[in-house]
Amino acid sequence: MPTTTHPITDADRAAMLATRQFLASMPPISLSPEARPFYDAMIGQMPSPDGVRYESSQLGGVPGWWCTLDGAPKHTAILYLHGGAYLLGSAAAYRHTVGQFAASAGVNAFALEYRLAPEHPFPAAVDDAVAAYDALVALGFTKIAIAGDSAGGGLTLALLAIVNERAVAPVAAVAVSPWTDLSVSGASMTTRAASDPMLTTDKMLAAASLYLAGTDAKDPKASPLFSSLTGLPPVLLHVGDDEVLLDDSVRYAEQIERSGGSVQLHVWEGMLHVFTSSIATLEAARSAMTDIGGFLAKHLRAA
């Protein structure tokens, strides 16, 4: 399996020490609807790249934000699905994050405001993602990549399996620290428990319960690790080596390889969950975004 392990730099080691000290001084981050304002404020700190414009819109009746730039190819787009354990997050808060993806790839991107649990449990998020994808196709988009982080990374890979047989199939997918297994059975839930100050098994199980509302955690539309992965387009995964969801990426990549597909897995030493959100402070985040942009540009901008 094509796996690249990135050693931590001295600068990032110092930055991550400061991050860990800050997290230790804060109350634990709650995965609950009550945490939405705090979560959006935190995510909204991502700087916006130069040259990206933002406009609220909708796709297939689902609201979101277009992140556009001059010179982007027509009929080409990234559909971005944000993180937040299916309970938190908004397209408005994530629009600068999505703008970074758009700028790095040189294409327009749409940040989707899919419905959140527990008000709208599974499969509401999946239904919204499918509706948005089909709307892009109906609008004449012929080159579409799907991308997302954390729960949105899992949703990205679930959507990939659903729409891969469409007449207009995705050309590629990118997932950062994806949550691919809502049964929370990966070995890293234990082996990385001491190194991950953000997520725990209990937190993940509680969030999964609110989202699934009684659905089997191994339903492929909820946990893409258990999907049929045959015939997928190229997939790129980036994940931190210190996060409990490490094996959600490793096992998914192994499944793609066994299915004969194309997958690239990047593991970043010393990095925590969705480390790419710290693009202003981490060399690893900037390097990962450069790699992501190159991968997306290769598949979206090719003739």
* Residues carrying an active site annotation: 150, 243, 273
- Determine the residue type at 190: T
Query: Between the CA of residue 68 and those of 44, 57, 77, 148, what are the distances in Å?
Result: 18, 12, 9, 17
Beta strand pairing call for 52-59 and 62-69: antiparallel
290: Cα separation from own chain's centroid: 16
CA distance 265 to 274: 14
Residue 67: in which H helix or E strand, if any?
strand 62-69
CA distance 104 to 252: 25
Q: Which of 61, 65, 246, 241 is nearest to 153 (CA)?
A: 246
Q: Which of 177, 173, 174 is nearest to 164 (CA)?
A: 173
